[in-house]
Structures are given as C-alpha cells and as structure tokens.
Chains A and B, each alone.
Chain A
Amino acid sequence: MLSAQRRGARSPVQTPQRRPLTRRGYVLRIEAMIAYLLRRVPQGLLVVIGVTVIVFVLVHLLPGGPGALLGERATPQQIKVFLQANGYDKPIYQQYINYLRQLLHGDLGYSYQHNATVSSLLVQNLPKSALLVGLSYIVALAVAIPLGLLQALRRNRAVDYVLTGLSLVGYSMPVFWIALVLISLFAINYNILPPVGPSGATVSEVVNQPANLVLPVLTLSIVTVAQFSRFVRSSAIDVLVQDYVRTARSKGISEWHVLSRHVLRNSLLPIITLIGLSLPGTLSGAVVTESVFNYPGMGLLFWNAAAAHDIPVLLGFTLVVSVSVVVGSIVADVLYAVCDPRIR
C-alpha cells in the first residue's frame, strides 16, 4: 500500500485537461516524445549490455568452464579443439567482444540436444509463447480491472474482503496446482475441455485448436488476475480520494460519468507500467504452465533443456527473453508517457 499511497500523494490534483490538439500542440507533443525516447532508450541499451554480461559470466561460471557448452559426453580432446576454435583461450575482454559480435550476427549457439541452432529453435517456439502470454494478459486485464474497481468502490465491505481473500489465495497457490485443479475440474469432472495444450509447429496450427488453448491461458491468467486486481484496487482507492473526483461529484456529474471519465482513466495509468514490470514473473509462470500442458512454446523447450543440461539453449533463451523484457518495459514507459501528458 505504501507505494500507492505515496504515488497518490505525489500526483497533481487536476485531471489532465483535454484540450483540442492544435497543429502546434501536436508538434510539441511529438517533440517531447522524441526527447523522452532519447533519454529512455540509452538506459535500456545499458541494461541489455548488462544482461549480456551476466549471461557471459554464467558461461564462465559453468562447472568445467565454457567446455561444458559441448555437453556432458564431450571428450577432453573435443573440448580442447572447441575452446580453441571458438576463441575461449583468448583474454577475457576479447572473448566478450567476440561474444557480442556473434550475438549481433544472430548466432546464439548450437543445441546438441536438438541438433539445431538456438536461434532457429527460438524462431520456432517464441511466437507460440508470446501468443499464450498475450492471450492471458488480455483475459487477466478484462477480469482484473472490473474486479479491482468494484473492490475500491466497496472498500472494506464484504465483497472487498471476499475478493481480496480470493486473490490472495490465487496468488499463493503454486501455478502447477492451479493448472491441475483446472484440469480435474474441466477435463475430468465435466469433460468439456481437453486436458492438454494444443500441438503443432506453427502459431497458426496452435490457433486452430482453440479448445486446447483455453486451460493454459486460464491458468496463466489466474495468477495475473490475483496480482492485477490488487493493484487496480489500491490505485483506484488513491484516485477516489483525489480532489478532482470530489470536484466532479460536487458538480453533479453522474456517478457513471465520474467513474468512467475520471476514476477509471487515472487509475488505469499505472497498469501500463505494471504490465511491463510483471513480464518476468508471467514468463516464469509460462514455463510452468507450458510444462504442465505440454504446450509447445519456449517454456517447455527451456524446461527440457534444463533437464538435459542443454546449456546453449538455456543461455540463449535467457538472453533473448530478458532482452524482450527490457524492450517491453521501454514500450510500457513510452506508452505511459503517451497516455499521461503530466509525465515528460
């Protein structure tokens, strides 16, 4: 609550004025946007470089050093040849520069388990995970926003307590248990949905099995709903006590209008940031969800790689997923700035 309270205390008292955008105003806005981007993108780049350093260090922390990339059954002779061929005998800074150069060429390593390049595996699997995560965000937002708003309006009443309790339990249940509860409910007891995720190599194949998509998406959204509804609730409570809401009410505007125009808009703004920030957690949930439902995305592949010690896949995926998290957070920040003219 602390954070929300402070943010509430800090935000200005007026609702952003909606003025008609003159051509001049529009240009100013774009200029401000570009200035903001120029500040924000370099920061993101630094973080991306930080991620590459972490993954690079991980390679060298492997028991047995970078030779472990070849797998457990490689002979010392093979490892020696591999180390020399890939420049792992050079000074460490040169190795890092080499590593960056490889990355820039899209070379993420080679999976000996799948006998394919890591980047080809990524191209195949990442879109399917993106579909799963994207759909579950849509479902989660569609449920969490009305719930959170309802809780804020009925603050400290029975409805609020029940929903708060439910979301706390939802947050506290291990994801794989939620998945299994859903399976036993919908697939075993009522037998209306298939208990496994869709199969197929491409996104379109996956989309063509909507019934199989329901349970994985539902599983992943339940966790997210639990988090988001709490956040919408506290954010809306902050907005409800603001002076501009009181002003709007005292002007005699209908309650519906106050809620939709003033409360909802202002309390949804932080959600944009929250989506960006919740990405790492949701992607963690996706790994578990995919392995429960045998959903053919990057989470399943990642899990199999972890079990098989397929280190190039682990490191390559970690890198790409983390970089997409950074990009996601920049996009979220920029969207926030677009939606809220007070920032910038």
Chain B
Amino acid sequence: MKRDNKIGSTKIGEFGIRAEALPDSAPPEVDDSAPHEAAAPASLARTFLHNRMGAIGLVLLIGVALFSFLGPHLYQTNQINTNIAEAHLAPSWQHPLGTDQVGYDILGRLMVAGQSSLIVGFSAAILASFLGTLWGAIAGYCGGWVDAVMMRVVDSFLSIPPLLLALVLASVYKPTIPVLIVVLALLSWLVTARVVRGEALSLRVRDFVRAARFFGSRERYIVRRHILPNIIGSIAVLVTLSAADAILLLAALSYLGLGPPPPAANWGEMLANGLNYAFDGFWWLVYPAGILIVVTVVAINLIGDALREAFDVRLQQR
C-alpha cells in the first residue's frame, strides 16, 4: 500500500460539503477483501427497509410529497391574487393555518411552496449527479493528464464557497426556477464528479475487473456489469444528500432576497418572510414552513444514510 498516495491526492473537498457522508475518493487502493458482486435489488430493498430510520425517512418524504402535489387538489386556495382584507388572520376553520401579510392562505401556500422546493431540490440534484457522473467517469477512465486537468477544474470550483457563487449568479441572472435549478446543480456536481472518478479509478484495477477483461469481456459489458453496479450506490446516496443541501441553499438564497420572486413561493421564502414578524406573535408564519423544511431535509438525510448502509456490504458485516 502506498501511504503517501493518500494525502497527495487528498485535495480540497474530498469529503465535499458533508464530511462523513461521502465515499472516499482516494485513488486506486486494491483491496479485494470485500465481496464486490453488487447485491441483488431484492436484498437491497430488504436491507434498506430493515433500517428503521430509512423507512421512516421514506414515509416522511412520501408524506411531504403527497402534501405538496396532491394537497392543492383537495384543498383549493388562491395563491396568485393577494387579498389585503384577509391579511394576518389567525388560524381558524376557514384558514386552518391563518394567512400571511398579503392574505395568502398559509396551508395552501405551504403546498404550492413545497412543490417548488422539492422540484428545485431534486431536479438540481439529478442534473448535478448526471453532470458529475459524466465528468468523473471520463476523468477516471482516461486517467493521465486529462484526469489531472479535469480534477483541477473540480478543485477550483470546490474552493469557491457555494453561497458566494450562488449569490453572484442569482444577482446577475434573474432568479427564476429553471435558473435556480441550474445554479444549484452547478454547485453540487463537483462532489459527485470527485467520487465517481475515484471509484472508476479504483475499480479499473480491481482483480474482478481485470479477470473479466482477461476472460475476454468487452469494455461495454464490464462497465455495465461490474463498474456501474458498484458506482450506482454512491451516486444514489449523493443524489439524496445533494437534494437536501439544495433545499437548504434555496432557503438561504430566499432569505437573502435572491430566491424566485413572488407569486412563486418556496418554504425558505415563507420562513424568511415569517421571520420578519417573528416578534409579533404570528407563529403560524414561522413554524409550519420551518418545520416542513427540517422534516424534509431530515427525511432525505435518513434515506441517504439508509441507502449508504444498504449499498455498503462491508458495513453490514460488522
């Protein structure tokens, strides 16, 4: 084992934004002690559900999604036109969670806001992991100077604090929802790229890949049968975690006044807006939105943790 290899390549952001959340992206470390055949889907699902916290997270997330996407059909409110006559109403039968300063019904607004928070979070995460996987796979597969250049690009982006870059972009471009999806994706593809590249590099020289090549398997077969199943776990984990981070970052941007402008709504903007009245006793403006953000982000994190355990065979044996 070459020890010095490790720190030499432990560059900025090996752990990304989330320290322990990420698989190590250290370069080739040939270690064939663990079983490498990717687990069958059925057993993956069983391990995932066996993890009680993961199941709870999944139930919570499905609940939040149903609330946001199905809710508006069951509970119809006007979220476009303001109505000052009904501003700042306390919760009542007519408005179960009261109204805000321009008369929007809070319960209905939470549903609509949830749609954009979830859509922005997950679209950004999926776009980011697609970009990151492509970038990392090319770098890891080509190796050599291509790899070096591509990874320095990732390093450079990683050293820019995400909120700064987001603020610059949101200040320069009009922050509509598609723009924000792209901006947030631009901030979170880096960790995926780094991880995929590390795994691709290390998988390429593992014995079972070498053996497959030795027996005459074609590259495409190797990638599909051996490389992809081994990487897919990390990608799934990263998608969930970056979705959670994207939702939080969107909230921060909205607080700083650079989120999507009204009448579009998201939970972060609602919470930020409610905090303007935090000391006036309008609790219904603050807690519902805040709790929904926390519940969603916690749920996504629980799912991510469970996925990580489901995919990491070695962890189960301990």
Contact = CB atoms under 8 A, between A and B. Distances in A.
A and B associate: yes
B12 A47 contact: yes
A288 B163 contact: yes
B262 interface: no
Contacts of A277: 12-16, 19
Interface residues of B, number: 76
A58 B168 contact: yes
A188 B24 CA distance: 45
Interface in A321-338: 321-323, 325-326, 329, 333, 336-337
Contact of A39 (B8, B294, B311, B318): B8
Contacts of B165: 318
A47 B155 contact: yes
Interface stretch (B90-98, B131-139, B220-228, B271-279): B271-279
B218 interface: no
Contact of A274 (B19, B29, B161, B237): B19
Interface stretch (A90-98, A117-125, A170-178, A243-251): A170-178
Interface string B242-271: 001000100110011110000000001001
Interface in A158-185: 168-169, 171-177, 180, 184
A336 B163 CA distance: 28
A83 interface: no
Interface string A249-284: 000000000000000000000000110111111011
A336 B20 contact: no
A215 interface: no
Interface string B1-36: 101101110111111111111111010010101000
A9 B159 CA distance: 29
A315 interface: yes
Contacts, number: 226
Contact of B6 (A177, A228, A343): A343
A342 B168 contact: no
Contacts of B33: 9
A61 to B, nearest CB: 8
Interface in B296-318: 297-298, 301-302, 305, 308-309, 311-312, 314-315, 318
**A-B pairs with the 9 shortest C-beta distances?**
A50-B156, A284-B163, A172-B297, A306-B171, A280-B161, A283-B161, A3-B24, A325-B159, A231-B19
23 contacts: A1-B309, A3-B23, A7-B24, A9-B33, A12-B3, A43-B11, A47-B155, A58-B168, A169-B298, A172-B293, A174-B252, A174-B293, A180-B278, A231-B19, A231-B20, A241-B318, A277-B14, A287-B163, A303-B256, A317-B164, A322-B164, A323-B159, A325-B160
Interface of A: 1-7, 9-10, 12, 36, 39-40, 43, 46-47, 49-51, 53-54, 58, 61-63, 68, 168-169, 171-177, 180, 184, 188, 227-228, 230-231, 234-235, 241, 273-274, 276-281, 283-285, 287-288, 291, 302-303, 305-307, 309, 311, 314-315, 317-318, 321-323, 325-326, 329, 333, 336-337, 342-344
Given A2-B237, A277-B14, 8 more contacts: A10-B31, A172-B244, A176-B251, A176-B252, A287-B163, A287-B164, A322-B164, A329-B12
